[in-house]
Structure 1
Amino acid sequence: MEMTMTPYRTKDLYYSAYLRVAGVPFLGAERTDHGKVVFLFEDQGPGAMRDLKRGYFSDQAKVSAMSFVQMIRAMKSLTFSTR
């Protein structure tokens, strides 16, 4: 029997762009009942996700600035097209 993992979810567009640039597999986006967009990622395990979050919010994360900006644009576009 195959176990399915619960996806990692976040509403933070900029953090989502960072996760994508950092290489976390993106599963998609969905709109909540309240109209907010939630981004879904493959959960890399509690330790890995905690380290990614800590790196991002402590300003220690290292990703390409150009890739990050391009991904922000792509994620913004996705928020407008998600139903």
Structure 2
Amino acid sequence: MARVVVSVMPKPEILDPQGKAVHGALPRLGFTGITDVRQGKRFELEVEGELTEQRLAEIHDLAERLLSNPVIEDYTVTVEPGVVA
């Protein structure tokens, strides 16, 4: 088994009210020097069997059609090294 991580983030031109709220709270909590915050989503997929190029292509399709909204979000797919169950 392999672990594939899909990270979904709002596109840079899309407003991120949750990220702005976190950014606004940082100084009140004593954290300084943070110039921006963007909030996204992380999905960890445990994949059975060998992780082939075809399987990765299916995961990209899954990420685009189900896990993200391609109009307002970008996603990345990464394979976590050394994760085998």
Give the TM-score normalised by structure 2: 0.28
Which of the two has higher C-alpha Rg? 2
The structure that is strand-richer by fraction is 2
Higher relative contact order (CA 8 A, sep 6+): 2
Give the TM-score normalised by structure 1: 0.29
